[in-house]
Amino acid sequence: MYLDGGATHFPLNVYNRFKVHWDGTCYCTELYAENGGKIGPFNIDSTALWTGEKKINGSGVYLGKTGIGVGGGKFQADSDGNITLTGKITGTNWSVTA
């Protein structure tokens, strides 16, 4: 580990597993937020990454242990593989194989 105010790029470096660039960019090999935190507009904790409400059918975007949800429940894929969609599926070229 070193802290070097004279460094050209990374004044803080912890065994190349966590580095902070002068411009504020952070590099790490793993991100863990047991007690919660934020990454831009997203909230994060040990079970999920979300905006809005922390639930699969909540407002915003949810990616967590119970599945994936977008748009207040309009699209959901739960942890059992069930997909729920409210709205339209449109396209010009379709192919479905089993």
Three-state secondary structure string covering the chain: CEECCCCCCCCEEECCCEEECCCCCEEECCCCCCCCEEECCEEECCCEEECCCCCCCCCCEEEECCEEEECCCCEEEECCCCEEECCCCCCCCCCCCC
pLDDT for 69 equals 95
Mind listing the pLDDT tens digit for each residue in 47-62? 999 999 999 999 999 9
Mean pLDDT of the chain: 85
Mind listing the pLDDT tens digit for each residue in 8-50? 777 777 877 788 888 878 777 777 677 778 888 899 988 999 9
Where do the structural domains in the chain lie, given as residue ranges? 1-26, 31-83
Mind listing the pLDDT tens digit for each residue in 69-87? 998 889 999 999 999 999 8
